[in-house]
């Protein structure tokens, strides 16, 4: 079994939206056709995206922290959006676990959006079919690309490497090891959807310095008994001597 997925490190994400724009760029130029934008330069721009970066504030001022939270289809292992689709347009691939929509079969009934607890599906208001993240299925197997580039566009674009891509079913893959060792977790585990994408939590890097560590106990200078210099506020020669 293979289950391709993303691992997103919330500790590293700086909320730059590079994944959003590269996703849109790659997928709007893809074989499946453009991704609609309405009013792109107008007052209320809106359109179809596979990936959004949201921002949350944790805590109350002054003890707050900003978390940037990229969200796309999680390619659930038990995707509730698939069995509800009346046409079979939504399906999960056997070979790599990617959840896809067949745009030629979709009738745009929107039932699958009701059945996705994460709001990961967005209808294309122009083509009237359901769209969602494909994990760049048209790029990760493309033999004409150099091997290092056979990854989703968002993963390649991320300047901080907050996004990892790989097979979460293979226990030795980079993503599995990262999830295991760095506390990777799933969103809304309460619904049993088993999302394949995982998130890595914020991890605080703290240094603990004790009082006695500020003074070096075995400082050889102490032994040599170099005389202490005069306190800074003591009068200096300049203060007491007039030239």
Partner 1 sequence: MHPAFSVIFLTTLIGAGQGLFLAIFTGQSYSAVRLVATQDSTSFYGLGALLALLFLVAGLFASFFHLGRPERAWRAASMWRTSWLSREVIMLPALMGLIFIYSMMHFFGWDTVLFTSKEGTTLQLSLVVGTVAVIATFLLFICTAMIYASIKFLQEWACALTVVNYLLLGTASGFTLATLFANSTAPDLVPLYGSWAIIITAAAFVTRGASLIRNARIKSKSTIQTAIGIRHTHIQQKSMGMQGGSMNTRDFFHHKTAAFMQVIKWTFLVLVFPLPIILLWIGMESNSSGILLGAFISQYLGLIAERWFFFAQANHPQNLYYQTT
State the residues that interact with ligand SF4 by CB under 6 A: 73-76, 79-81, 85, 87, 89-90, 99, 101, 106-112, 116, 118, 120-121, 130, 132, 193
Asked if 120 and 132 count as a contact pair (C-beta separation under 8 A), the reply is yes
Q: Judged by CB, which is closer to ligand SF4: 16, or 69?
A: 69
- By CB under 8 A, tell whether 46 contacts partner 1: yes
How many CB atoms lie under 10 A from the CB of residue 231?
Answer: 6
Within residues 125-144, the interface with partner 1 by CB under 8 A covers 125, 127-129
Residue 206, Cβ density class (10 Å: 0-12 exposed, 13-18 middle, ≥19 buried): exposed
Counting contacts by CB under 8 A, is residue 78 touching partner 1?
no
Q: Report what 81 binds from partner 1, ligand SF4, none; CB cut-off 5-8 Å by kind.
A: ligand SF4
Of the two residues 87 and 160, which places its CB atom closer to ligand SF4 in the complex? 87
Q: Using CB under 8 A, which residues numbered 93 to 122 contact partner 1?
A: 105-111, 113-119, 121-122
236 binds partner 1 (CB under 8 A): no
Q: Could you say which of partner 1, ligand SF4, none residue 66 binds, taking C-beta under 5 to 8 angstroms by partner kind?
A: partner 1
User: Which residue among 4, 32, 89, 153 contacts partner 1 (CB under 8 A)?
Assistant: 89
32 binds partner 1 (CB under 8 A): no
Q: Tell me how many degrees the CA angle 69-176-58 measures, rounded to the nearest 5.
A: 25
Contact by Cβ (8 Å): 99, 82: yes
Distance between the two ends of the chain, CA-based, in angstroms?
90
Q: Is 57 in the site for partner 1 (CB under 8 A)?
A: yes
* Residue 118 token pair: 């994460």
| Residue 28: other Cβ atoms inside 10 A | 16
Cα 100 from Cα 82, distance rounded (Å): 9
Any idea of the CA torsion for 88, 78, 112, 89, to the nearest 10 degrees? Answer: -20
Q: Give the binding site for partner 1 (CB under 8 A).
A: 17, 20, 39, 43-49, 52-60, 66-67, 69, 71, 80, 82-89, 105-111, 113-119, 121-123, 125, 127-129, 185-191, 199, 201-202
């Amino acid at each position: 079994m293979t289950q391709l997925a993303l691992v997103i490190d919330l500790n590293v994400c700086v909320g730059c939206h590079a994944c959003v724009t590269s996703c849109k760029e790659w997928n709007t130029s893809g074989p499946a056709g453009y991704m609609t934008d309405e009013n792109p330069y107008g007052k209320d721009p809106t359109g179809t995206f596979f990936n959004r970066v949201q921002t949350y504030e944790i805590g109350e001022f002054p003890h707050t922290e900003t978390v940037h939270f990229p969200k796309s289809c999680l390619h659930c292992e038990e995707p509730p959006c698939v069995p509800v689709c009346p046409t079979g347009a939504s399906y999960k691939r056997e070979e790599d676990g990617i959840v896809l929509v067949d745009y030629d079969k979709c009738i745009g009934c929107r039932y699958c959006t009701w059945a996705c607890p994460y709001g990961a599906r967005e209808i294309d208001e122009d083509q009237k079919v359901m769209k969602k993240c494909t994990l760049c299925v048209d790029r990760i197997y493309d033999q004409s690309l150099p091997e290092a580039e056979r990854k989703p566009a968002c993963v390649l674009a991320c300047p901080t490497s907050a996004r990892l891509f790989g097979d979460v079913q293979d226990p030795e893959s980079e993503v599995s090891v990262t999830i295991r060792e760095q506390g990777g977790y799933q969103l809304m585990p309460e619904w049993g959807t088993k999302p394949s994408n995982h998130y890595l939590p914020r991890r605080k890097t703290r240094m603990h310095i004790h009082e006695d560590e500020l003074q070096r106990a075995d400082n050889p200078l102490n032994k040599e008994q170099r005389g202490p210099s005069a306190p800074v506020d003591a009068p200096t020669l300049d203060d007491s001597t007039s030239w």
